[in-house]
Amino acid sequence: MLGSSSILCLVVISACPFLIYGQYSESLCPSQGVSSRCHCTENVIECRNRGLTSLPNFQTSPWPFKRLDLSKNNITYIPARAFEGINVTEIDLSFNMLTGIHREAFINLKKQLNGVDLHNNLLFALPEVLSTLENITKLDVSYNPIPHDNFTDNVMRLIGDWITEFHFGDQDLQQWPHSLHHLAELQFLKFYGGKMDRIPITAFNGFEHTLRKLWMQSTHLIAVPIALQYLHNCNELHFDNNVFVKDAGILIPAFAGMTKTLDTLSLENNSLSTFPPVLRTLVSLHNLSLARNNLQIVSDQAISEVGSNLTTLNLQGCNLDRIPGALSKLSMLKNLDFSYNKITTIEKNDLQAMNHLASLNVSYNPLAYVSKSSFHDLGSLEELVLKNTSLYEVPQAITNLPHLKILNLEQDQPSIECNCDLSWLYCFTKTNNSALTIVGACYTIVLDIGLYVKNDVRTTCPNMC
């Protein structure tokens, strides 16, 4: 039952603009019918995963919602004037069963709608209704069975002056759509899937000077497209899950236009066995991910290919059984991720000359031993993540980390022994590092490691400080 203050807010809406949960969402959310009632917050009309087969009947609401979320339903068609009564700038219709959208579906929103998400539907052509949107900047039609010739010139031309972010592609796409050249303002492009093993050299014509970020993922490509050489202002490239590429497919000429601009490069899961030689040409590269490649051994020669400006390196899931000593050459690294490998020990001479390293992640490894003499060169380390390892004790090597702020020892099955052997850790936190946060649970008692060290060691163990 509504209280008196809530009733007053329903009568005088402007007096209570931030009553957005509870009574507000029940009374002012602009949908009708028990089965289609949506939940509303300050900015979102949320109708996600409601089992809808058609749109709710929206009623006029004075609330200035920003986004309508209709994702993960079973909606098959959007009729004319479907959104009268609401005032949003973004609509999410992803993960439905859409086969068509009426040309006048968005008629009352045509001047304000700037984002439409249609990915994972059953559309066989680019909906003509999109050409009526006068300010659309972001469009996602990925994972719809749209053949290349149904990215129609007329629609692409009419939205080309507005679109800055475009997502497309499907596992059955046979050719690269020629009509993409109409997207003259494009800054972000995401391409998924496709059956083609190469794309035309003219693929990025029309937006080669505007594109800043590019994703090409889960394709059948056998090499990095040569067409990339014309992207002169691209600073971020995600070329991932292209398992047919392999080492020979990372072509140096493809990166010719990005040698001075590329800041972030992801080459995850491309069947690589080593660091690609192209890295030595990318003088502005700061962030590199080679995750989920079968690197096994990282040699001095391989590391010599990497530029000296690299600050973030992701080697997650690369089948490494030890920390490569060659990484000591990357002295400017700040973030290093070794999670999901086969590393069993951290030795004294591992991680040398990494004076700038701030975050180290060795989680999800069968790590059982950390030398007390390790970490000596990690004077700037602030975060050490050792989640789900085989450690039975807190590594005393952390006493070599004067600026450590977070030690994460979380385990699905806690294994750290909490007893008076942790007196050294109490002393370390008391005298050297009072700001240290320890995350993880004790094995022997139902208590967090950090709380045990802070309270129980002090009261029940001999004073070792």
- pLDDT confidence bin for 142, thresholds 50/70/90: very high
For 342-399, write each residue's pLDDT tens digit.
999 999 999 999 999 999 999 999 999 999 999 999 999 999 999 999 999 999 999 9
Q: Identify the weakest region by mean pLDDT among 100-114, 420-434, 442-456.
A: 420-434
* CATH number of 168's domain: 3.80.10.10
Give this prediction's pTM: 0.89
The dihedrals phi and psi of 383, each to the nearest 5 degrees, come to -135, 125
Residue 160 lies in a domain: yes
Residue 33 has pLDDT above 50, yes or no: no
- Residue in this structure with the two tokens 């014509």, named with its chain if needed: 205
- pLDDT tops 50 at residue 25: no
Q: For all residues of the chain together, what is the average pLDDT? A: 89
The answer to whether residue 108 is domain-embedded is: yes
Q: Is residue 204 part of a domain?
A: no
Tokens 């200035």 sit on residue: 64
With respect to residue 353, please indicate whether it lies within any of the assigned structural domains. no
Mean pLDDT on 2-13: 36
Say what the pLDDT of residue 5 is: 38
Q: Residue 332: inside a domain, yes or no?
A: no
Per the CB < 8 A criterion, the answer to whether 217 and 238 are in contact is yes
Lowest-confidence region among 24-33, 219-228, 230-239, 366-375: 24-33
For residue 47, is it within any domain? yes
Q: Specify if 243 maps to a domain.
A: no
What is the C-alpha to C-alpha distance for residues 238 and 264, in angstroms, rounded to an integer?
A: 8
CB 216 within 8 Å of CB 241: no
Q: Encode burial over 188-198: b for 16+ CB neighbours within 10 A, e otherwise.
A: bbbbbbbebee
Give 433's pLDDT tier (boundaries 50, 70, 90): low
Provide the domain limits for residue 28. Answer: 20-196
Supply the pLDDT for residue 62. 63
Which residue in 61, 13, 57 sits closest to 40, CA to CA?
61
**8 A C-beta contact, residue 383 and residue 358:** yes
Count of structural domains within the chain:
1
For residue 11, pLDDT over 90 is answered with no
Q: How confident is the model at residue 412 (pLDDT cuts 50, 70, 90)?
A: very high
Instruction: Kindly list the distances between the CA atom of residue 420 and the CA atoms of 195, 219, 424, in Å, as whole numbers in the listed order.
Output: 61, 55, 9
| Least confident stretch, 57-61, 231-235, 443-447 | 57-61
The pLDDT value recorded for residue 14 is 32
Confidence of residue 246 (pLDDT cuts 50, 70, 90): very high
Would you state the pLDDT for residue 31?
58
What's the distance, CA 261 to chain centroid?
21
Residue 45 lies in a domain: yes
